[in-house]
Structure 1
Amino acid sequence: MTVESLWPAAQSPNDLPAVEGMPLKSRGLPTSTYDVVLRAARLWSDRTAVTVLPDGTDYRRFASRTFGELAADVTRAAKALRSLGVGRRDAVLLISPNCDELITATLAAQAAGIAVPINGSLSADHTLELARLSGARVLITAAPELDPAGVERAAALSHAGLIDTVILVRPTLADHASAPPPEVAGAEVHYLSTLVETQDSTPLSDGLAEPGDLAALFHTGGTTGMPKLAAHTHGNEVADAWMVAVSADLPDDAVVFAGLPLFHVNALIVTLLAPLLRGQPVVWAGPQGYRDVGLYQNFWRIVEHHRLAAMSAVPTVYAVLSQIPVDADISTLTSAVSGASALPDTVRQDFLDATGVALVEGYGLTEATCASARSFADHPRPGSVGQRMPYQQVKAVAVSEDGTWTDLPAGQIGTLAISGPTVFPGYVTARSENVYVLDGRGALRDGWLDTGDLGYVDNDGFVHLAGRAKDLIIRGGHNIDPAVIEDALLAHPDVTAAAAVARPDTHSGEVPVGFVTVRPGAAATADELVSFAAGTISEGAAKPKSVTIIDAIPMTDVGKPYKVPLRAAAAEHALTEALAGQAGVMRVTGRVAAGAPTVSITLDPTADRTAVERLVKSFSVNYEIDEQ
C-alpha cells in the first residue's frame, strides 16, 4: 500500500474520474474497523488520537490518549467482552451519553462482536423493541454519575429478560471506580474500568471480522412508529470512512471537533473512523455535545485552545454560532460541514460573515452508511448538496404505480437511488440460529438503494434535492415520521385529511405540527385535535405542537400531497409568534420561493432591523425583509 494509492487527490470535482480509475479493492483499505484502530497505532503510536472534554465550560481540562493507547484500550475492552461470551455474531447494546470510555466501548463492541448504539431519549417501548431485535445479552450504559437513567434502562431491559450483563461507563476524568457497582436485578453489573484491568493489550488473534461481517446495527427513524435496525458491515463503514477522509481537504495533523452523539452514524464515520484512517486528532465535546450551553459560550475559545481545523454539525448549530461574537483566534478553523437537514442561505452567509469559513453541505443516510455526497468550498455549486462520493453511484429514477423503475436523464427530478460499497445489506427482521435475518423492505433493488428523497443528478455527479419524499421531521437530530402524526389525526372522526410538517424552532431545529381538513359543520377545534393526537402517540417528541384547520391540503398536479406550502405556513406561524413583541413589524408572510419555504417580513421605519434579524436568524429558515 502506497500513500498515493490510499490518498489520491480528491479536492476538486474534476478529480472524481481519476480517483475511480483505480478499483477500490486495489487501494488496500483495512479489513475491519478494528484493523483501522490497529493500523493507526502502528503508524502514529505516540500522536494524540482523542481528547475528550468533561463539558463545554471546563474546556482546559480533558482526557487525552494517543493512537497507541487507544488501540490498547480497545483491545482490552474487546477481550473483556469476549470473556463475557460476546462472539463475532453477538450484539452489544450501547446506551450512554458521550464520554471517554464510550469511544473505547463502541470500537471494542465492533472488534469483539456487533455494536448496537441506541439513543437514550427513545421511549422505553422503542428501546425494548430494538434490544429484542438485536438479540443482545450485554448492555453498556452510563453509570449513575454520568446519567442516572442508565441503570434504570438496564433494570427495564433485565426485567424484560433481554439482557443479563451490564457494563457501566463513567464520566470523563472521573476517579477510578472503587465503590461496588449498583445492583440490577437479574443481571451482573461491572464497571468497564474494572473489567479491562485483567486483560492484556496484545491484539485479538481469533474471531476477527471480514469486510462482509456485520459491524453495527444502527436504528433509523428515531421517533417513528416502529423502530428499524439497519445493518452495517465492516466493509460499509471502512469504505465510507475512507471516502470521507479522502474527500476532506485537511492535512494529517488537522484537529477535528466532534459534538454529535455516538448513536449517530455521523459521529462514528466522520469524527471517529475517518480521522483514525488519516491519523488526525479529534477533540470530543462533553456528554451534552451541541446541547451544552457552556459549549456555545466558549466555542471560539475552544477552537483557539485546541487549534480546531474542522467540524461537522447541523444547520441550527451554525445558526447559533454565527450569532456569537468571535472572541478568540480561530484562524485554524478551515472546514465546517453541515448535514442532516437543508442549509438555509442565511445561515450559510451569516457563518461566513462571522468566521470567514464557507459552510459546505453533505448528504447521506443511515442505509448508505453515512455520507454519499460532499460539497467543495472552493468549487461551489449553488442548489446542490454536493458531488457523489467516489465509488458510489447516484441516479434519479421514475417509480411507476407497479413499482417499476425507469432511469431518468441528468437534470430530471425523480426518486434518488444509490449503489456502491456503502449500501447496507438490509434491516434486521429476525435472528435465527445466531444469524441475523436481513430484509431490504423495499428499499433495496438489484444493489440500488431507494433513498426516499426526491432530486436530480447533474452531468458532473452533483446531487440536487427537490424535497424529502418521506418529509421526515428532524427534531434535534432525531427523525420523526410524519405518518405517525397523520395517522393519529386521521383517527379523529371529524378529520378528513391530514398532513404533518416541520415547524422551525430555536431549540430543536424543527418541531412537528399538523394541518387538517374537517367535515362540514364539524365541532372539533385545533386544541382538541392536538390533545387527541397526543393521546395516541407514544413518543413525546412526535406529538404535534399545534394543529391548524385549513380548507384543503395542497396537492401536486398528479394528486399527491404537496407539503412545501404547509412548511411555509408553519414557518410563518413560528415567526409571527416570535416577533409579536417587536415594534415596527407590519406583516409576516410564509410563501414558496424557488421550491423552498421562505418567510417575508415587512417592517415600518420604527423597527429595529438588527434586533429583528437577530431573532429570525435563530430559527434557521430562509427569510426576506422589506422596509417600508
Structure 2
Amino acid sequence: MTGPLLWPEYATPADLAAIEAVPLQARGLPESTYALLARAATTWPDRTAISVLPDATRWREPLRRTFAELLADVHRVANLFHDLGVRRNDAVALMSPNCAELITATLAAQLAGIAAPLSGGLSRQHLAELLRRSGARVLVTAGPELAPDTWDTAQALARDGLLEAILVLRPTAATDAPHPLPAVDGVRIGYLGELAAATDPAVFDGDLPRSSDLAAMFHTGGTTGAPKLAAHTHTNEVADAWMLAASSLFDEESVVFAALPLFHVNALVVTLLAPLFKGQTVVWAGPLGYRDPALFGVFWKIVEHYRLAAMSAVPTVYGALAQVPVDADISSLRFPMVGASPLPAAVRSAFQSRTGIALVEGYGLTEATCASARSFPDASPPGSVGQRLPYQRVRVVSADGTWEDRPVGETGVLAISGPTVFPGYVVDRDENGPLLDGLGKLVDGWLDTGDLARIDEDGFVYLAGRAKDLIIRGGHNIDPAIIEDTLLAHPQVVTASAVGRPDVHAGEVPVAYVTLAPGATVTGDDLRDWASDRVPDRTAAPKAVTILDELPVTAVGKLYKLALRRDAAQAELRAALGQIAGVQDIKATIEGSSVVVTVNIHPTAQEDAVKDILGRYAIEWRLVVTS
C-alpha cells in the first residue's frame, strides 16, 4: 500500500490530529519486519539498500547490496537457522560489532525465530544468564579477524555448554582466506557465509512470523543484577519504524547514515527498519562505528560523497563533530537525530554554529521499542524533546505509585501507551517459548518509564530527570547495582552506592561512594582500580570512588542517591571552573527531584567563559553575579 493512507502529511506538530483521525489498523502496515523487507525488495529490487564501509579509512569502498540481494541473503541465513532447528519461539543470539553479515543475520533471526542481540562488553556471567533466559542455543558472533576478544568470549560460552552452534562472521568485504576454526565438543562451528551459501535464496522454508509474534529481545539496564531482557513483537517494531518513516522530511532519496551498534534498539529501528519503508539507502559505518577516531576526520567527506540526509547519534558524537572543521559540501544533511541521553545546550549550539544544521532531538526507551517523541527542526520549543509520535499516548502521573494524573505543566513520572509498548521482560522460558512479565512497569496497558517529565498545553514533552537510578554514559545504560555489587565484594567495603557524575564528553560517567569496615586501610583509588578490574560491564568501571563515614539516607532510612548526585555534580563543576578568575562559589542543591548548580561570580569575572563551560554539561544551572 502507498499513497496518503500509508504516507499522510507529517511535517509539523499540527499534523498529528489529522494523522490520528485514520486508525493505525487502516494504514496497511506490513505484518512483520520480514514482510517490510519483502515489500521493499518487490518495490525497489535494484535500488541499493545498504552500503557497508569496511572501516573509516576505506570509506570509498563500500560493500553494496540491493533490496533484492538483501532479501535473498536473509532467506539464505534464515534457512540456515531453520536447518539448525530454530523455530518461531526460539531465539538466535547475535554478538558482534557491526558488519554486512550482522545486518543480514539480524533480519534473518527475526524471520526464522527471535533475534537476541548481545553486547560483547558484558561479562561472561551476564552473557550466560542472558543466553539462559532467552533460550538461545545458536550464537552468531564475530570471528577472530573481526573482534578477537568477542571471539574468545564466544568460545568460552561454548565450552561452558551453553551453545549448540556458533556461526562466525567475517569483516565486511573480507577477501583473504578465513582463519581455521577450532573444534568444541558437541558444538557446530562454521563461517556463516559459507554455511548459508548452500541454502535456498528464493524463499524461507519455515513458517512466516505474524504481527503478534516476538521479533527480538533486547537487554537493557535494570535495577538489580543482570540486565533485563525486553521483548519486542513484530507489531512493536514495524509500528515504531513507520512512525519515524512517516515524517515528510524523509523521501526515497534521503540517504541515512548508521553507526550505532546493532545491539542497541536505535540502530535496529531508526537506521535499519525505518528506511525499508521508503526504500532509502543506508550507509553503515565500519565495526567501530562512532567509536572509531578516524571516522571524525573524514566524516564531512562521507556526508558529501554519499549525500547523507539523515543520521542518528548520541550527544557525545555531535559534540565531537562540532570540533571538526567542515571541509566538504554537507548541504544534503537535513535531519541529524539525537537521543539516548540528555543533550547539553552547548553541544546543540556548537553543532549548529559549526554546520548551520539544527539537531532533531528525540526521546524513547527500549521498553517502548525505541522512539516515543521527536522534535521538529523549526517548530519545537527550547528544552523539549518533542511531541509524542502518532498513535502513542503520553501522560504524567504522580511519583507515589497511585498513577494520579498531574496537571498540565507539572512534573511527574512519564507514562506511555500504544502499539510500541513492549509485552514484558523475558524472565524464563518453558516448552512453549519465552515467559514474559512486566515486573511492575506495565499497568493497564501503560508503561512506567521511570523518567520524570512535564507536558505543556501543546503536548510537548520536557524531561526533568530520572526517577530511576540508571547511569547513562554516552547513551549506554549502566545499572548502578553492578558497580555496587562489585565494590561490596571487597572485604573492607561495608556499603556502596553508585551514581552518575556530569561529564562533558559522555553526558555522565559512573562514580561510587562507599563506607569501610573498622580498621580498613584501602583508599578510594585502590577501590577504583579494584572495581575496574572486576566490574562485569567495562563501561561501568567507576571513574572515582569516594570514602564516606556514612552514606546519606532519607528520614525513613532509605539510601538517598540524590544527595550523592549533588555531591558528584558539585565536585565536577568546582574542578571545571576552579581556574577561572572571579568565580566565588559553586554550590549544588536539590530542587524537587533535580540537582541544580548555582555559580556565584564577581562582576569582573569572565562571564562568557563560565557560561561556555556550564553549557557543555547536561545539567540545570544558574549564574549569579555578586559584588
Q: TM-score, normalised by structure 1?
A: 0.90
CA distance in 2 between partners of 1:338 and 1:256 (Å)? 14
Partner SS state of residue 456, structure 1? strand
Judge conservation of contact 2:411–2:452 (CA < 8 Å) in 1: yes
Partner of 2:412: 414
Q: Note closer, same or farther for the CA distance 1:460–1:561 as it changes in structure 2 (3 Å cut).
A: farther
Q: Note closer, same or farther for the CA distance 1:103–1:456 as it changes in structure 2 (3 Å cut).
A: same
Judge conservation of contact 2:344–2:616 (CA < 8 Å) in 1: no
Partner of 2:423: 425
Partner of 2:320: 320
CA distance in 1 between partners of 2:490 and 2:143 (Å)? 43
Partner of 1:243: 243
Judge conservation of contact 1:109–1:115 (CA < 8 Å) in 2: yes
Residue correspondence of structure 1 range 489-504 to structure 2 within 5 A: 499-504=497-502
TM-fit CA distance, 1:341: 0.8
CA distance in 2 between partners of 1:57 and 1:578 (Å)? 35
Partner of 2:586: 589
CA distance in 2 between partners of 1:383 and 1:411 (Å)? 13
Partner of 1:471: 469
TM-fit CA distance, 1:433: 0.6
Q: Residues 337-375 of structure 1: CA distance to partner in whole angstroms, max 9, x if unpaired?
A: 111111111111111101111112111111111011111
* Paired residue type of 1:423: V
TM-fit CA distance, 1:600: 4.6
Partner of 1:85: 85
Could you list the runs of 5+ residues in structure 2 that have no partner in the other structure? none
Q: Note closer, same or farther for the CA distance 1:206–1:549 as it changes in structure 2 (3 Å cut).
A: closer
CA distance in 2 between partners of 1:100 and 1:313 (Å)? 20
TM-fit CA distance, 1:323: 1.2
| 2:41 is the counterpart of 1:41 | yes
Q: Note closer, same or farther for the CA distance 1:331–1:560 as it changes in structure 2 (3 Å cut).
A: farther
Partner of 1:439: 437
Partner of 2:455: 457
CA distance in 1 between partners of 2:617 and 2:184 (Å)? 43
Q: Residues 527-547 of structure 1: CA distance to partner in whole angstroms, max 9, x if unpaired?
A: 466467668854443343223
Judge conservation of contact 1:346–1:621 (CA < 8 Å) in 2: no
| 2:152 is the counterpart of 1:155 | no
Partner of 2:216: 216
Partner SS state of residue 80, structure 1? helix
Judge conservation of contact 1:584–1:604 (CA < 8 Å) in 2: no
Judge conservation of contact 1:347–1:620 (CA < 8 Å) in 2: no
Q: Note closer, same or farther for the CA distance 1:540–1:273 as it changes in structure 2 (3 Å cut).
A: closer
CA distance in 2 between partners of 1:95 and 1:495 (Å)? 34
TM-fit CA distance, 1:329: 1.0
Judge conservation of contact 1:501–1:512 (CA < 8 Å) in 2: yes
Report the RMSD for the aligned CA atoms in angstroms.
3.4
Q: How many percent identity over aligned positions?
A: 57
CA distance in 2 between partners of 1:24 and 1:348 (Å)? 34
CA distance in 2 between partners of 1:596 and 1:416 (Å)? 19
Q: Residues 278-329 of structure 1: CA distance to partner in whole angstroms, max 9, x if unpaired?
A: 2111111110011000001111111111111111111111111111111111
Judge conservation of contact 1:497–1:516 (CA < 8 Å) in 2: yes
Partner SS state of residue 5, structure 1? coil
CA distance in 1 between partners of 2:85 and 2:30 (Å)? 26
Partner of 1:174: 174
TM-fit CA distance, 1:566: 4.5
> Which deviates more, 448-457 or 349-358?
448-457
Q: Residues 538-559 of structure 1: CA distance to partner in whole angstroms, max 9, x if unpaired?
A: 4443343223356887789999
TM-fit CA distance, 1:260: 0.2
CA distance in 2 between partners of 1:29 and 1:258 (Å)? 24
Partner SS state of residue 49, structure 2? strand
Residue correspondence of structure 1 range 123-522 to structure 2 within 5 A: 123-175=123-175, 180-204=180-204, 206-221=206-221, 225-247=225-247, 249-400=249-400, 403-486=401-484, 499-505=497-503, 508-515=506-513
Judge conservation of contact 1:55–1:286 (CA < 8 Å) in 2: yes
Q: Note closer, same or farther for the CA distance 1:588–1:275 as it changes in structure 2 (3 Å cut).
A: farther
Residue correspondence of structure 1 range 108-123 to structure 2 within 5 A: 108-123=108-123
* Paired residue type of 2:186: G
Partner SS state of residue 127, structure 2? helix
CA distance in 2 between partners of 1:222 and 1:324 (Å)? 36
Partner of 2:544: 546
Q: Note closer, same or farther for the CA distance 1:616–1:136 as it changes in structure 2 (3 Å cut).
A: same
Q: Note closer, same or farther for the CA distance 1:97–1:177 as it changes in structure 2 (3 Å cut).
A: same
Judge conservation of contact 2:312–2:336 (CA < 8 Å) in 1: yes
Partner SS state of residue 453, structure 2? strand
Residue correspondence of structure 1 range 573-584 to structure 2 within 5 A: 573-574=571-572, 577=575
> Which deviates more, 92-101 or 471-480?
471-480
Judge conservation of contact 2:344–2:617 (CA < 8 Å) in 1: no
Q: Note closer, same or farther for the CA distance 1:222–1:65 as it changes in structure 2 (3 Å cut).
A: farther
CA distance in 1 between partners of 2:266 and 2:539 (Å)? 21
* Paired residue type of 1:229: L
CA distance in 1 between partners of 2:570 and 2:536 (Å)? 28
* Paired residue type of 2:508: E
Q: Note closer, same or farther for the CA distance 1:461–1:586 as it changes in structure 2 (3 Å cut).
A: closer
Partner SS state of residue 111, structure 1? helix
> Which deviates more, 127-136 or 204-213?
204-213
Judge conservation of contact 1:236–1:422 (CA < 8 Å) in 2: yes
CA distance in 2 between partners of 1:626 and 1:321 (Å)? 31
Q: Note closer, same or farther for the CA distance 1:497–1:157 as it changes in structure 2 (3 Å cut).
A: closer
TM-fit CA distance, 1:591: 3.4
CA distance in 2 between partners of 1:363 and 1:11 (Å)? 18
> Which deviates more, 516-525 or 37-46?
516-525
* Paired residue type of 1:421: P
TM-fit CA distance, 1:483: 3.9
CA distance in 2 between partners of 1:530 and 1:389 (Å)? 42
> Which deviates more, 437-446 or 480-489?
480-489
Count of matched residue positions in the alignment of Structure 1 and Structure 2: 624
CA distance in 1 between partners of 2:530 and 2:153 (Å)? 29
* Paired residue type of 2:15: D
TM-fit CA distance, 1:237: 0.5
CA distance in 2 between partners of 1:522 and 1:181 (Å)? 49
Partner of 1:72: 72
TM-fit CA distance, 1:137: 1.4
Q: TM-score, normalised by structure 2?
A: 0.90
CA distance in 2 between partners of 1:392 and 1:40 (Å)? 25
Judge conservation of contact 2:72–2:201 (CA < 8 Å) in 1: yes
* Paired residue type of 1:448: W
CA distance in 2 between partners of 1:618 and 1:382 (Å)? 16
Judge conservation of contact 2:345–2:615 (CA < 8 Å) in 1: no
Judge conservation of contact 2:319–2:505 (CA < 8 Å) in 1: no
